[in-house]
Amino acid sequence: MNLILIPGFWLDGSSWNDVTPALVTAGHTVHPVTLPGLESIDADRSGITLRDHIDAIVAFVDTVRESNAAEPVVLVAHSGGGAVAHGVVDVRPDAIARVVYVDSGPLADGGCVNDELPVVDGEIPLPDFGFFDDEDLVDMTEDIRAHFRSISIPMPVGPAYDKQVLTNPRRFDVPVTVIACEFPSTMLIEMMEGGHPYVAELARITDSEFIDLPTGHWPQFTKPAELGEAIVEAVSRDIHTS
């Protein structure tokens, strides 16, 4: 399988480095991507939108399919990258075999990832860790926090603040797996059954599965090997049916 790895906020493709060995060992072709504006700390982030991030991955999906049409494409998206992945599915529902959401989920039409993140000089730097909830920071040792900060790149404002625009109901037919980290899958399922707006878009997906990986919001740092194994598990059904 072609696994396109979409990072969450403040991170580039290298954030998947400790996760990819398990994926490669399992025989997958791995494509960690860096989204526009995240190429370096000095990159131009002005005017970059959520749609720019979606369009960049759509173009990458098309390139991957042209070069290796026989292998299905799976999107693996962490955190805010989930909004990007769902936008891609809206544009290319036939091109995506599955989306794996890593402590993330599909962002509904009209929603935004987080318009409360503090903007500084026209961009969004990684906030102090006190900004985050305790659940986010489970297993985040001081060394891991220092590493995260050392590699963090400010986010463009658009991908955090822009409203998602979706038009294609076929997005609900693309299978998804949620790797649940901060909150157990039982809680997410209860929320879905109760009609909670946070998971309303996820509840409309016709084929959804859950894998529990108890840790904080950044499992690629706190439990990278286990995250790799969970991703392999998530796509194993697609290998058997493709």
Please calculate the CA angle 210-213-217 and round it to the nearest 5 degrees.
105
Among 172, 50, 65, 35, which Cα is nearest to 111's? Answer: 50
**Range with lowest mean pLDDT among 23-27, 63-67, 109-113, 156-160:** 63-67
Q: What is the pLDDT of residue 240?
A: 52
AA identity, residue 16: W
Asked whether residue 93 carries a pLDDT value surpassing 60, the answer given is yes
Asked whether residue 31 carries a pLDDT value surpassing 80, the answer given is yes
CB 109 within 8 A of CB 54: no
Q: What is the pLDDT of residue 70?
A: 77
**Sheet strand arrangement including 2-6:** 29-32, 2-6, 73-78, 96-102, 176-180, 208-212
Over the chain, what is the mean pLDDT? Answer: 96
pTM of the model as a whole: 0.96
> In this predicted model, what pLDDT tens digit does every residue of 182-236 receive, in sequence order?
999 999 999 999 999 999 999 999 999 999 999 999 999 999 999 999 999 999 9
What domains sit in the chain, N to C, each tagged with a CATH number?
2-241 (3.40.50.1820)
Q: What is the pLDDT of residue 95?
A: 96
Asked whether residue 239 carries a pLDDT value surpassing 70, the answer given is no
Q: What is the pLDDT of residue 119?
A: 97
Q: What is the pLDDT of residue 71?
A: 87
What is the pLDDT averaged over residues 115-134? 97
> How many percent of the chain have pLDDT more than 70?
98
> In this predicted model, what pLDDT tens digit does every residue of 126-157 receive, in sequence order?
999 999 999 999 999 999 999 999 999 999 99
Instruction: Give CA–CA dist 196/12, Å, rounded.
Output: 31
Q: What is the pLDDT of residue 99?
A: 98
The position carrying tokens 């108890």 is: 214
Instruction: Give CA–CA dist 85/199, Å, rounded.
Output: 16
Asked whether residue 40 carries a pLDDT value surpassing 90, the answer given is yes
